[in-house]
A and B are shown apart, each in its own frame.
Chain A
Amino acid sequence: MPAAIRAAHSTVTETHVITTSGLTKIYRAHRSRGREVTALDGVDLHVREGEVYGVIGQSGAGKSSLIRCINLLERPTSGTVTVAGQDLTALAGRGPRAGKELREARSRIGMVFQHFNLLSSRTVQSNVELPLEILGVSGKERSRKALELLDLVGLSDKAKAYPAQLSGGQKQRVGIARALAGDPKVLLSDEATSALDPETTRSILQLLRDLNRQLGLTVLLITHEMDVVKSICDSAALMEKGRIVESGTVSELLATPGSELAAALFPVSGDATGDDRTVVDVTFHGEAATQPVISQLSRTYNIDISILGAAMDTVAGKQVGRMRIELPGRYEENVVPIGFLREQGLQIDILDKAAQEPLLLKEGAK
């Protein structure tokens, strides 16, 4: 599958539009019993303006709590959330009810849900108009804006239909149109594609990517599917047990030795074909990988190189990804060629021959 990695995109700026610091959420099962579940454990997240940021993790890792804490649908136990320069946690007040200021701040953050959450009692158009009603926009303007948004998501012919008459992908498009009604700078996507089939998932992701580019919209999405991160994210974070264990731009992740996310994004596999071989993982990232290094290596040292596996992509003329190659002879005999690869600015990991596992990767790539 072609992985469209756009490490540096023109709309991405260095301004952080979503920042959380020390975000912690503890659920107390019952007051009488002392059982507590720590869903978020001091999460620091920095999402830059204009990027698509993916948070990935297994169910129960705290992804959902994280995204719900961003617009304070869940009250964090401690820590702060800042969106577009505004400290939302300061607006929260003490009770469970959202005050006027928090509600206004929420109206500038769009949110898309896994199960769409469209009102069955309203038509498609009326669903898109709802956020505008809340903002107090006049009827005429509401209808104009709703139709414009439906056109943007490619559903202008379904304005008068009811949600129950639409397919899953169409419902999510309505969900996206609705989320954009308040002209948000930030879109939160809570597993938006998890209830959709692979083909519909691709088209919805494409739509999110287009909106990100056209409108300069910052998208924070949570998902459990690596493919989602792979196809649209500029940056990603891996969550485990309420903590962010890895984060960064895709290129930074690749440059991090032993990154689980990089291994999962660019999986390589393949075993040595004999005892007297050296297996090397080469990681291409950033500025370094502009040369056709493998053929240079082969020509310079007059050695035969086998490619055992590769997960590569070319973005803006640069190669990004990982490759597992095999050189003839033991490691001791290959010190010079490996040194050559390092000189090219590539990251090199020598595989432990006995274990046939990468030295640095705990978990073999699938």
Chain B
Amino acid sequence: MTWSEMQPLLSQACWDTLYMVGWSTLIAIVGGLPLGILLVLTDKGGLLQNVVVNKVLGQIVNIVRSLPFLILMVALMSFTRWVTGTTIGREAAIVPLAIGAIPFFARLVEMSVREVDGGLVEAVQSMGGSTWTVVRSVLVPESLPSLISGATTTVIALIGYSAMAGTVGAGGLGDIAIRYGYQRFETGLMWATVAVLVVVISVLQFGGDFAARTLHRRRGKAGPLLLFKPLSGIFPGTIATDAVKKS
């Protein structure tokens, strides 16, 4: 297979993957952010303490999180057909991807929001702030760098999930790997797929880390170190310069 044959296949697959992942990330954030915050607020000692709601939400999150994605996808097939009218193609894949990612992101949100200093919540309460004010002006903005990191982790997990979706007819890079790499031994295309994935994930991770770090910096705090350095293995020099900078 020549590059001119591979190129349209790869670019279509790449676009399909980003399409599926993009939409499901968006839905995961829209659904997972309030869910994660609600898990904190309804917990014992929370502003909206409600044991029943907390237990029910927690259980739902646990059940969805405990299912391997492939099984979740198959289990949701009739629901997917009801929503999109089909179980094949990238639109159909968005449904299980989003449903899988909402609880995943919600747990990350929960962890980030729990890290927020309770004194800040108390301060806003002492000014006469409502629970909504606390959420809007304390919980979300104070945990924002950590929420961005959580969203980055979610996107990358979704790329993994989308490859599984690709094996059962969703298209994308997973589909290429199965049809060409696995079934036809097109090693060249297989490696090209791997390369594309490495680049995509590196860019996403770097972008997420950079955004989180920039926010920290702007607030006058030292941000977390950039942990993911895909090039540092290839060019050991970058590690050396980092070490010098740190000392």
Residues on A close to B: CB < 8 A? 71, 73, 96-98, 103-107, 109, 111, 113, 115, 117-122, 130-131, 133-135, 161-165, 178, 181-182, 188
Give the chain B neighbours of A163 by CB distance below 8 A.
220
Cross-chain contact of B127 among A115, A131, A161 (Cβ < 8 A): A131
Interface string of B217-234 (1 = CB under 8 A from A): 011110000000000000
List chain B residues, Cβ under 8 A from A164: 219-221
Closest to A175 in B: B123
- In the bound complex, what is the Cα–Cα distance between A118 and B124 (angstroms)? 10
Is A73 within 8 A of B128, CB to CB?
Answer: no
Q: Could you pull out 14 A-B pairs where Cβ atoms are within 8 angstroms?
A: A73-B125, A97-B47, A98-B130, A107-B127, A107-B128, A111-B127, A113-B122, A120-B219, A121-B142, A121-B219, A122-B137, A134-B124, A162-B219, A178-B127
Contact with A117, one of B123, B133, B218 (Cβ below 8 angstroms):
B123
Bitwise, B186-227 to A at CB < 8 A (1) or not (0) is 000000000000000000000000000000001111000000
In the complex, whether B126 has a CB less than 8 A from a CB of chain A is yes
Question: Taking each of B131, B144, B221, which has the highest tally of chain A beta carbons within 10 Å of its own beta carbon?
Answer: B221
State how many residues of chain B have any CB contact under 8 Å with chain A.
Answer: 26
Complex contacts, B138 vs chain A, CB 8 Å? 119
Report if B141 contacts A (CB, 8 A): yes
Q: Which residue on chain A has the smallest CB distance to residue B144?
A: A121
Inter-chain residue pair count (beta carbon < 8 A): 79
Q: Is the CB of B220 within 8 A of A161?
A: yes
Given A120-B219, A182-B127, 7 more pairs with CB closer than 8 A:
A73-B126, A107-B128, A115-B119, A117-B123, A120-B221, A122-B137, A163-B220
Bound-complex Cα distance A265 to B133 (A): 43
B contact residues around A131 at 8 Å (CB): 127-128
Give Cα A133 to B134, complex, Å. Answer: 12
Enumerate the 7 nearest inter-chain pairs by beta-carbon distance, A residue then B residue, closest first: A107-B128, A164-B220, A121-B141, A117-B123, A165-B220, A162-B220, A103-B128
B49 proximal to A (CB < 8 A): yes
Smallest distance from the beta carbon of A64 to chain B beta carbons, Å? 11
Taking the closest CB of chain B, its distance from the CB of A151, in whole angstroms, is: 21
A115–B123 Cα gap in the complex (Å)?
A: 10
- Can you name the residue of chain A whose Cβ is closest to the Cβ of B141? A121
CA distance A133 to B125 in the complex (A): 13
The CA of A133 and the CA of B218, in the complex, are separated in Å by 23
Flag whether B120 is at the interface (Cβ < 8 A).
yes
For residue A134, give the distance in angstroms from its CB to the closest CB of chain B: 5
Contacts of A71 in B (CB 8 A): 126
Secondary structure call for the B interface: helix
Tell me which residues across on chain A come within 8 A of B142, comparing CB atoms: 119-121
Distance between B90 CB and nearest chain A CB, rounded to angstroms:
37
- For residue B57, CB closer than 8 A to chain A, the reply is no
How far does the alpha carbon of A118 sit from the alpha carbon of B138 in the complex, in Å?
10
Q: Which residues of B contact A98 (CB under 8 A)?
A: 125, 130
Q: How far is the CB of B137 from chain A (nearest CB, A)?
A: 6
Question: Shortest beta-carbon distance, B153 to chain A, in Å?
Answer: 21
Closest to B133 in A: A134
- Contacts from B to A (Cβ < 8 Å): 47-49, 117, 119-120, 122-131, 133, 137-138, 141-142, 144, 218-221
B158 to chain A, nearest CB (A): 27
A188 to B126 alpha-carbon distance, docked (Å): 10
Residues B127 and A106 in contact, CB atoms below 8 Å apart = yes
CB distance from B214 to the nearest CB of A (A): 13
B124 touches which of A104, A130, A161 (Cβ 8 Å): A130
Find out whether the CB atom of B125 lies under 8 angstroms from the CB atom of A117.
no
Q: CB distance A130 to B127 under 8 Å?
A: yes
Whole-angstrom CA separation of A96 from B51 in the bound complex: 13
What's the minimum C-beta distance from B220 to chain A, rounded to whole angstroms? Answer: 4
Which residues from chain B contact A133 at a C-beta distance below 8 Å?
137
Complex contacts, A165 vs chain B, CB 8 Å: 220
Bound complex: CA of A122 vs CA of B144, how far in Å?
12
A135-B221 contact given A96-B47, A119-B141, A121-B141, CB 8 Å threshold: no
Measured between C-beta atoms, what is the minimum distance from B221 to chain A in Å? 5
Q: Which residues of A contact B127 (CB under 8 A)?
A: 106-107, 111, 130-131, 134, 178, 181-182
Q: Which B residue sits closest to A109, measured CB to CB?
A: B126
- Contact status A162-B137, CB under 8 Å: no
B126 pairs with A106, CB closer than 8 A: yes
Task: Give the residue of B131, B137, B219 whose beta carbon is less than 8 angstroms from that of A97.
Answer: B131
Would B119 and A117 count as touching, CB distance under 8 A? Answer: yes
| Nearest-CB residue, chain A, relative to B118 | A117
- Docked CA distance A178–B130 (Å): 17
Among A118, A120, A130, A135, point to the contact of B137 (Cβ < 8 A). A130
Bound Cα distance A254, B227 (Å): 63
CB–CB B49/A96 < 8 A: yes
Contacts of B133 in A (CB 8 A): 134
